[in-house]
Copies of this chain bind each other. A is one copy, B any other.
Amino acid sequence: ADDDATAGARRRNAQLTKPPGALGRLEELAIWYAGWRGSDSPAIDAPQIVVFAGNHGVCAQGVSAFPPEVTVQMVANFEHGGAAINQLAKTFGATMHVHALELDRPTADFTQSPAMSEAEFIAALRTGWGAVNPAADLLVPGEMGIGNTTVAAAVGAALFGGIGADWVGRGTGVDDAGLANKARVVDAGLARHASREPLEVLRCLGGRELAAMAGAIAAARAHRIPVILDGFICTAAAAVLEKTRAGALDHCVAGHLSAEGAHGRMLDSLDKVPLLSLGLCLGEGSGGAAAIGVLKAAVACHSGMATFAEAGVSDG
């Protein structure tokens, strides 16, 4: 972040027509955003949502309540404007792009072999990197991929420690037996792949849409584009970057706390406090997109409000 812009934004914030701190977390959000954009009174005019879709070999282990063909069906739904994320993009004036990542060629079942070869992994990272519009001023990465809460749980367990049961959740709606099966599958993946090097974890236990989100989040950093993280799967992908280099997610804020059980613990480990807590667990970037309004509100107040001097208001 730009220290001059951060300091300038902090000075501006102190002069706005409100009691000190009365806008609560909106004040810190606006200052953070200003620092990354390099302007002490920035605007959010061009938010971009990018949804990556992938399929997962581990679905052969019966980890999802939905069949894998739903991934490609939902991609069509995104393209026709019928999904939740389309409505959220419209509500908050964001552009939306969808990248389907070789859906007819799922990753390998991670209980048997690495999910991706090195070439496949790098291709997915690159797709994510290239999907970010350098002219965007806010990025919300999202995903779709039947089976990917199991994948994210495996990545979470490998990065942060613990066993499958600590990290799996109901996903799109598995029952108790399904939950136990997910835990077993994650444990099998953890046993199969010994490396805990973060990028190797992502390659062996992750999926193409997770790798693409990591690539997109890294690209946003390079372009100084602040990011709103979505839920459990997005956060697991992002955590790979933070575990690779501390501070790698300083340009990211957590959009929401997912109903997927382990998300809160993962956010705590990353020292991220979610903007919203509304029980969403849809993916697609929906929780991140729902939080665009909060960040827009913060930045609009910061950059649009009059100072005490401008408004002729006594400052106490």
Check A163 for interface membership: any CB of B closer than 8 A: no
Given contacts A22-B281, A24-B278, contact A17 B82 (CB under 8 A): yes
Complex interface residues of chain A between 170 and 196 (CB less than 8 A to chain B): 172-173
Check A74 for interface membership: any CB of B closer than 8 A: yes
B280 touches A26 (CB 8 A): yes
Which residues in B have their C-beta under 8 angstroms from that of A14? Answer: none
Per-residue CB contact flags for chain A residues 66-100 toward chain B (1 = under 8 Å, else 0) read 11011001101100111110111011100000000
Complex interface residues of chain A between 11 and 25 (CB less than 8 A to chain B): 16-25
Given contacts A24-B278, A24-B280, A73-B314, contact A88 B18 (CB under 8 A): no
Which residues in B have their C-beta under 8 angstroms from that of A314? Answer: 66-67, 69-70, 73
Check A259 for interface membership: any CB of B closer than 8 A: yes
B290 touches A294 (CB 8 A): yes
A18 touches B84 (CB 8 A): yes
Taken together as a complex, chains A and B put the C-alpha atoms of A66 and B280 apart, in Å, by 41
Task: Name the one of B23, B80, B281, B304 contacting A90, with C-beta atoms under 8 angstroms.
Answer: B304
B23 touches A282 (CB 8 A): yes
Residue of B nearest to A283 (CB): B22
Q: How far is the CB of A59 from chain B (nearest CB, A)?
A: 13
Taken together as a complex, chains A and B put the C-alpha atoms of A111 and B259 apart, in Å, by 48
Residue of B nearest to A86 (CB): B304
Which residues in B have their C-beta under 8 angstroms from that of A91? Answer: 293, 296-297, 300
Which residues in B have their C-beta under 8 angstroms from that of A130? Answer: none
A316 touches B173 (CB 8 A): yes
A19 touches B306 (CB 8 A): no
Which residues in B have their C-beta under 8 angstroms from that of A313? Answer: 70, 73-74, 77
Rank and list the top 3 A-B pairs by shortest CB-CB distance, nearest first.
A293-B293, A24-B279, A82-B306
